[in-house]
Copies of this chain bind each other. A is one copy, B any other.
């Protein structure tokens, strides 16, 4: 997500917060995810952000409405932009969604997709091993392939022609997922779709930093900055430089 927004809006400064002391969110309950999301939003608000992107599908599924109610700035989730793009991409009206246990159990994608396109047939599948595979960097070869085959079998049997990657980690496995799904299935990355909406909102608000020559990127984490610096490059697509530790309530 960071990478996509930075690419699309090269003049904007970004404050990135990774709640590394409490991830993963995908296996946790709605109550706990809402609590963590509120605390994270608070930390970012203190950095005077103008727009908040909830760059996690599970946090979007459980906490987006709460944050929108409580915060005075625009709050964007990753679910609706991804869903919109999937609806545009499908030809046969059959969309598959993969995500964490939490995201799929929340029913968020199912309900957004049906409100956008009532006739679309949605098939969902939680894929709990994709996040640890991506974090482990084990993204090719027979093991990820067989795991992807096991997870995608039902969705492919439904005849989907579009597959929504409903977790910000999954694009790291995109290649093996595409291989298993086959060339006739379009893969939709919600992070990419969301970055377009971020740009639209900033433009609509008239607060684009179009003239800023050198945007500032700040990286905040709740667990050790050192271990984040190591994996950060993997996820953010760049050398992260200084990483700042923030305490959480």
Spell out A's residues near B (CB within 8 Å).
20-22, 27-32, 128-129, 131-133, 135-136, 138, 142-143, 146-147, 150, 222-224, 226-227
| 18 additional A-B residue pairs with CB within 8 Å, beyond A129-B132, A143-B150 | A20-B28, A21-B22, A28-B223, A28-B224, A29-B223, A29-B224, A30-B224, A31-B223, A32-B222, A32-B223, A32-B224, A128-B132, A128-B135, A129-B133, A129-B138, A131-B132, A142-B146, A143-B143
Give the number of times this chain occurs in the complex, counting copies: 2
User: Which listed residue, B30, B32, B227, touches A29 by the CB 8 Å rule?
Assistant: B227
Give 17 CB contacts A-B under 8 Å: A21-B28, A21-B32, A22-B22, A27-B135, A28-B223, A29-B223, A29-B224, A29-B226, A29-B227, A32-B224, A128-B135, A129-B132, A129-B136, A129-B138, A132-B132, A143-B146, A146-B146
Which residues of the partner chain B approach A147 to less than 8 Å between Cβ atoms? 143
Which residues of the partner chain B approach A32 to less than 8 Å between Cβ atoms? 21, 222-224
Closest B residue by C-beta to A224: B29
Closest B residue by C-beta to A29: B224
CB distance A136 to B146 under 8 Å?
no
**A142 to B56 CA separation, bound complex (whole angstroms):** 31
Closest B residue by C-beta to A138: B129
Closest Cβ of chain B to A143, distance in Å, is: 5
Interface centre among A129, A146, A150 (most CB of B within 10 A): A129
Which residues of the partner chain B approach A131 to less than 8 Å between Cβ atoms? 132
Closest B residue by C-beta to A126: B136
**A213 to B122 CA separation, bound complex (whole angstroms):** 54
Closest Cβ of chain B to A192, distance in Å, is: 26
Which residues of the partner chain B approach A27 to less than 8 Å between Cβ atoms? 135
Closest Cβ of chain B to A114, distance in Å, is: 26
Which residues of the partner chain B approach A31 to less than 8 Å between Cβ atoms? 223-224
**A72 to B227 CA separation, bound complex (whole angstroms):** 33
Closest Cβ of chain B to A130, distance in Å, is: 10
**A143 to B151 CA separation, bound complex (whole angstroms):** 12
Which residues of the partner chain B approach A28 to less than 8 Å between Cβ atoms? 20-21, 223-224
